[in-house]
Structure 1
Amino acid sequence: MAACIPSSPDAPHIALTLVGAGEPLIRLEKRLHCAAAGLGLALDLDIQKDAAALGIPFAQTPAVLLDGRLVLSGLPRTEEIEAWLRQAFQSGNQP
């Protein structure tokens, strides 16, 4: 995957919780940052490695939570994450 361009310091920030461990977690984190940067957004990620403590089955990790609600699980493609971010945060639904 090509390196993604970092978001500008004054980009709108979105707070998400990333749940999981190991390489899948790292890959999803990179995909999230790349997708957000492509839309001019910045992410504030809270990384939680104990999925069971959050009531998320291990089989659904890595996972992304928004306001405690599961919004993505597994390893979606960067383009799919970008489409979700665009729908959730650029259509007037910004938190």
Structure 2
Amino acid sequence: MWLIIGLILGVAFLGLIIGLRTRKISLTWYEWLISAIGLSLLLFTIQNYFGSLAEIEPKAASMFLLVTGLPALILLALAWQLAARRAKQS
């Protein structure tokens, strides 16, 4: 599973870099930082969700989605909005 996730992340990161260069958008350091924290938290959530399901703990799996998954999505959406608003101003 982690090999496939790694391949997907690699392709997505390459697509992001190519897309940013094509549109001539540069990201600030804090946008990269917020994105990295959000992505790390999302990967942590996925790992713990499937680990809890494997141990037959569905309530713990659901709590991981809520407690760590929701903030991960919020951070990723925040980074995206910061970049989109700054690109729109330019």
The structure with the largest alpha-carbon Rg is 2
TM-score by length of 1: 0.36
TM-score by length of 2: 0.38
